Structure formats: C-alpha cells, structure tokens
Amino acid sequence: MRIVSGQYKGRSIKTCEGPGYRPATMKVRESIFSMLMARGVNFADVRVVDMFAGSGSLAIECLSRGAQEAWFVEKSNKAAGLIRKNLNDLGVEKRRCRVISKDLFAVLGKPPEKPFDLIFIDPPYGKDLLVPALEKAIKNGWIAEDALVLAEVEIAVEAPHEGPIAEMELLTDREYGQTRILLWRN
C-alpha cells in the first residue's frame, strides 16, 4: 500500500493479511482526505487517534501531511508490531507517534492527557462496535471540541442518531462499494 500525499508520498507501508483485515483502498483514502481538506483541516494543527487501527494507514497519511501527533490503538500484537515497523521504516519521529497494543475499550476507559482533533474509527465489520466506542470516547473526553470524527463501516450500518452521538453534527454519509464513510463534527 502506498502513501497518497505529503512527506512520505509514494512510500509503501506493509499491511496485515488474513480474516478481518481490510485496509482502506487508495480511492477511499483519497476521498477521505479530500473530505477533510474541504472542511479546512490543517494537519499541522491536529492530534490524531486511529481506533481499531489495523494497518494504521489513515493516521500514517496524517503524519505524512504534517500532523503533530498520532496514536494508533490496535488490539492485535501482530498488526501493532507492523504499524511500529512501518513508522520506523518511514523515519517518523517517536515523539510524534504512539502505538498502543490493547483493547480499545480498555484504552478509552481513561481520559487522554489531551483530547484529539481528528478521530478515525474503523471497527471490525459485523461486531456493532461503532456506537459503544464512540459513546465511550465522548464520555471520557477523547474528542476535542470542534473535532472531526470519521468512521469507516460496512454499508449496512446506518449513521447513529441517538445518545451522545446525536450531539455531533453528521457532515457526510457516503458509500464506496461495501464501505460507508461517516463524518461528524463535535
């Protein structure tokens, strides 16, 4: 998989293979970053968290575009190790990234030192984890005021409209093949 833009443009990152791994395609990543830039995201000003990070491709794209800091939360030790290797191979400064190899819900149980400006959430398909993860992130202060939250889910998942998520403004609901992209502003 190649990085689309920024400092690491054209460089390859390795991804895990096997059941449950489905890295965002280049077309979807290009669309996601187009959406973000159209909404005025200045990557040099953002802290990013990639929840259910998988390959970490979305947060790595943000680092390539100058993001201050990116956290990758990935339960699989194998996938987390691959993220660490990719970051090291790209030469990303250690102060700009943090890979957490733990269950997301355990991590979200405590507030971060500082909330994040851009949140990616790509839960495993068919597990109904989007709403519980977002609710816990909201409750424990992971999402900064005016932050953007982008979810990549299977096409059958409807945008949630109840509970604390209803306080966020749904900006985008788009379909790309079997994938739905939802974008909110807090």
Mean pLDDT of the chain: 92
Q: What's 96's domain CATH number?
A: 3.40.50.150
State the Cα torsion 49-51-56-59 to the nearest 10°: -20
36 lies in some domain? yes
54 lies in some domain? yes
| 12: DSSP letter | B
Burial class (CB in 10 A: 0-12, 13-18, 19+), 94: exposed
For residue 177, the enclosing domain spans 26-185
Three-class SS string for 125-184? CCCCCHHHHHHHHHHCCCEEEEEEEEEEEECCCCCCCCHHHHHCEEEEEEEECCEEEEEE
Give the mean model confidence (pLDDT) for residues 150-155.
93
17 lies in some domain? no
Look at residue 5 and tell me whether its pLDDT is greater than 60: yes
70 lies in some domain? yes
Look at residue 12 and tell me whether its pLDDT is greater than 80: yes
Q: Which of 136, 131, 139, 132 is nearest to 182 (CA)?
A: 131
Cβ(134)–Cβ(165) below 8 Å: yes
139 lies in some domain? yes
Look at residue 42 and tell me whether its pLDDT is greater than 90: yes
pTM beyond 0.75: the answer is: yes
How do residues 60-117 score in pLDDT, each as one tens digit?
Answer: 999 999 999 999 999 999 999 999 999 999 999 999 999 999 999 999 999 999 999 9
132 lies in some domain? yes
In the chain, the number of structural domains is 1
159 lies in some domain? yes
85 lies in some domain? yes
